[in-house]
A and B are shown apart, each in its own frame.
Chain A
Amino acid sequence: MPTKLIINCETGEQTEVELTAEEIAQREADAKAYEADKKAKEAEAAAKAEAKAELLDKLGITTEEAALLLS
């Protein structure tokens, strides 16, 4: 069972207790949300890179030549 450490800054008392079912559920939900967000961002970046490569191919120029055009 995961545990949490609570440090009371007024008294200096430190206690270690098990996470509640609600805290475990929240943690798991947060982790899932993070993974979903990460995958979405990776997919977006991959799609963008693919579109960029296709455009360069269509134009018949390299990445360096495209950068030169935009400089």
Chain B
Amino acid sequence: MANTYTLIEAKTLGSAVSSVTFSSIPSTYTDLLLKVSVRSSTTNDWIGLYFNGSTANVSGRIIQGTGSGVSSSTSNPAIQAILSDSSSFTASTFGNAEVYIPNYTSNNAKSFSIDTVTENNAATAYMQLLAGLWNPATQAAITSITLVASSGDMAINSTFYLYGISNS
């Protein structure tokens, strides 16, 4: 049972970028937790997520509410993992997400879960749960996490907090 949280790195964007990578993640923790608050510079509302620089061998299943309906589907987390407030959403609002990655240093396939929502002062707003799996041909500890806007940039004041969690 995780009982310690250590902030590894934090970043508030001072300029818009299309991608953020946490590299050289230390292997001294049990789990990783990434908290993200992000807005897009375009009508794009997706942020992809992948590990160790590879968009391959990652899969996911999502359940989603849209404000008017619900659905479930397969997804490619490298493209659609985190909901971002698009530029058409209420000004100065951000999408939010928590990404939990247990046992990130193991030599087995890595599971992860993402709880993510948008914020919008309108009928359409999204909430989503994602269960993901990264299963590369050669298993390795996760040493980097990349977030990438599927188009355009992540806007100024988007924030990213990476925590290491230990079970003792």
How far is the CB of A13 from the nearest CB of chain B, in Å?
A: 9
A6 to B19, CA, bound (A): 8
B24 & A2 in contact (Cβ 8 Å cutoff): no
Chain B 73-111 near chain A by CB (<8 Å), digits 1 or 0: 100101110000000000000000000000000000000
A9 & B8 in contact (Cβ 8 Å cutoff): yes
Number of residue pairs spanning A and B whose beta carbons lie under 8 angstroms apart = 72
Interface centre among A7, A30, A41 (most CB of B within 10 A): A7
Inside 8 A of A26's CB, which chain B residues have their CB? 55
A2 to B17, CA, bound (A): 7
How far is the CB of A40 from the nearest CB of chain B, in Å?
A: 10
A2 & B153 in contact (Cβ 8 Å cutoff): yes
Inside 8 A of B141's CB, which chain A residues have their CB? none
- Contact count band on B: 20 to 34
Chain A 33-71 near chain B by CB (<8 Å), digits 1 or 0: 110010001000100000000000000000000000000
A5 & B150 in contact (Cβ 8 Å cutoff): no
A33 to B79, CA, bound (A): 9
A6 & B150 in contact (Cβ 8 Å cutoff): no
**Known contacts A8-B23, A16-B15, then 15 further A-B pairs from the complex at CB < 8 Å, ordered by chain A residue:** A4-B17, A4-B20, A4-B21, A5-B17, A5-B21, A7-B9, A9-B162, A14-B11, A26-B55, A27-B18, A27-B151, A30-B48, A31-B150, A34-B46, A34-B80
Interface, chain A (partner B; CB < 8 A): 2-12, 14, 16, 19, 23, 26-27, 30-31, 33-34, 37, 41, 45
Sample of 28 A–B contacts (CB below 8 Å): A2-B18, A2-B19, A2-B153, A3-B18, A4-B17, A4-B18, A4-B148, A5-B13, A5-B20, A5-B21, A7-B11, A9-B8, A9-B9, A9-B24, A10-B24, A12-B9, A16-B15, A16-B17, A19-B19, A27-B148, A27-B150, A30-B79, A30-B150, A31-B150, A31-B151, A34-B46, A41-B73, A45-B71
